[in-house]
Structure 1
Amino acid sequence: MPAYFDIAVNLVGSALEHELDTVIEDAAKLRVSPLLVIGSDLAESAKALALTQAHPRRLYCTAGVHPHQASSWNDASTAELTQLCSAAQVVALGECGLDYNRDFSPRPVQRRVFAAQLELATKLNMPVFMHERDANRDFIAIVREYRPHLPNALLHCFTGDRAMLEACLALDLHLGITGWVCDERRGQELAALVPDIPDERIMIETDSPYLLPRNLRPKPKSSKNKPEYLPHISEHIAGLRGQDPSQFAALCYHNSLRFFGLERDHVGT
């Protein structure tokens, strides 16, 4: 059975939090391990870090401020985030980026806070875990400024068009693909683009509990997505790319370990 690394799991502050032990165990039974727990603001990032420390090697996390929470950034945030990122379990700075779809924070604030976090990542020499929705032009412009000084950069939950794909690849970004690609209504454009992502740039994720794959059978009683469904997503993407499912899973697993600097911790798995 292949091994899988789910690079985006919202275990803190979501519907999965009250059943996290079961979520972790059910995923591990299918060799979906480790899981990357996402921090969306500084308080949530601290909780994610504490959770990873209670589940060594099974969980790692990010630390950062999502664009929805950009208005929470203040004069103390850089120091607080720097402290969080000093922990070994924090393997990327983020989730940071731009979201013009909901505009929960004003756009100028989003841009300023995104740039501040990229600047910090360059100083800490850390990979960044990024979010973008309906903000292609500004997102690419800001990332282009900092990309030469970042060791690695990932746009998670990629759902862009061909122009966005080409812009991301030109900036040497890694791309995370979710169960969005399994949606026959919304995912058709992404399904057509997935074969064009280079082998060394693609990773897979559930972004659970969101984006439950619509073609999952039997259909789960709960609408919650879970890391245990990652093998289904992986197999579907492998079919779109014309690749052997086991080989594709291994490719994504090792891409993820390399990106987050975890090869030494999980060699031979």
Structure 2
Amino acid sequence: MFDISVNLTHIRFSRDRELVINRAIQNNINGMLILGSTIQDSKLAYHIATKYVFCWSSVGVHPHYANLWTKHSSQKISSLIEQNTIKIIILGECGLDYYRNYSTVKEQLYVFNAQLELAAQYNLPVLLHCRNAFNDFTAILKKWIGKIPVSVIHCFSGNTYELETCLDMNLAIGISETFFNKKYRSSSYNDIFLIPQNKLVTGSDSPYLLFKDKYPDIYTTYKGRNEPALLYNLIKKISLYRNEDIYMLQHVTEHNARVLLRI
């Protein structure tokens, strides 16, 4: 299995990060993409990834932190990419988030476009984030489709129209627990059938998205913290909804991630 969204730099992993990685290995995780949410965070993600053969990292600025962008940010990201071409394999997590608006809309729009420009410059796929911002998100992204490699919208939580639009733009669809939680989605779970098998990837978004109402025993055992080791539960749920063999889905989603990330 391949976990395409792990926030392993999060403070909740600071005391036992190595144990978390070992549990992932023991639970058949063959690959992990460690996400950056700021430039400094991306440096740490890269540092962790260099210690493990089966880990890679992203570089980018999450929309929550768009207000930290400066006139030097593009150059700093460029320097990281140019120095670390083996382990830094995707740009992001970047996009728009109008649900929390920790950064202004103007800041988010500017930083999202700037990072797509970098992705085109370096021919990197992009790990995309969109929440409550779909119209602006697609308006910007459509200008860059064709100029950047096939990319992925992670933790997809949109409606049927948004899913079909993303597929029309040739995006891979990253499924996490948000897809099966009504707090995040308003449309039918049957949308899972709309995703072609070769466009489906999975991510835990650890340490987030371990819902107590869905996994009460696991929630208690892991003290509310999601981990890559628990990705099997997500793939099992996908297999039940799609009526597909779980072992086949484990293989297919890992294969898709590796094709997308070119590793």
Coarse TM-score class (shorter-chain normalised): over 0.9
- CA distance in structure 2 between the partners assigned to 1:49 and 1:124 by the alignment: 17
Show the counterpart of 1:252. 253
1:28 aligns with 2:29: no
Mark the runs of 5 or more structure 2 residues left unpaired by the alignment.
Answer: none
What are the equivalent positions in structure 2 for 1:133-212 lying under 5 Å apart? 133-183=131-181, 186=184, 189=187, 191-212=189-210
RMSD, aligned α-carbons = 1.5
Show the counterpart of 1:267. none
Show the counterpart of 1:53. 50
Letter in 1 for 2:23: D
* Maintained 8 Å contact 1:69/1:104: yes
Q: Deviations over 1:201-251 (max 9, x none)?
A: 110110011001443363332111111110110011011111111111111
Show the counterpart of 1:240. 241
1:125 aligns with 2:123: yes
**1:114–1:254: structure 2 CA closer, same or farther, 3 Å change rule?**
same
216-225 or 168-177: bigger deviation? 216-225
* Maintained 8 Å contact 2:23/2:229: yes
Show the counterpart of 2:39. 42
- CA distance in structure 1 between the partners assigned to 2:251 and 2:216 by the alignment: 23
- CA distance in structure 2 between the partners assigned to 1:247 and 1:125 by the alignment: 30
1:63 aligns with 2:62: no
**1:229–1:83: structure 2 CA closer, same or farther, 3 Å change rule?**
same
Deviation at residue 188 of structure 1 after TM alignment: 7.0
Letter in 2 for 1:220: Y
Which of residues 105, 108, 128 in structure 2 aligns to 1:107?
105
- CA distance in structure 1 between the partners assigned to 2:203 and 2:139 by the alignment: 25
SS in 2 for 1:132: strand
186-195 or 252-261: bigger deviation? 186-195
- CA distance in structure 2 between the partners assigned to 1:190 and 1:59 by the alignment: 34
- CA distance in structure 1 between the partners assigned to 2:94 and 2:100 by the alignment: 15
- CA distance in structure 1 between the partners assigned to 2:187 and 2:13 by the alignment: 29
- CA distance in structure 2 between the partners assigned to 1:236 and 1:187 by the alignment: 16
**1:219–1:53: structure 2 CA closer, same or farther, 3 Å change rule?**
closer
**1:168–1:184: structure 2 CA closer, same or farther, 3 Å change rule?**
closer
* Maintained 8 Å contact 1:63/1:92: yes
- CA distance in structure 1 between the partners assigned to 2:210 and 2:2 by the alignment: 17
Q: 4+ residue runs of structure 1 moved beyond 4 angstroms?
A: 184-188
208-217 or 78-87: bigger deviation? 208-217
* Maintained 8 Å contact 2:155/2:179: no
> Percent sequence identity over matched residues?
31
| TM-score of the aligned structures, taking structure 2 as reference length | 0.94
Q: Deviations over 1:116-171 (max 9, x none)?
A: 10011001000101101100000011110001111121100000001100110110
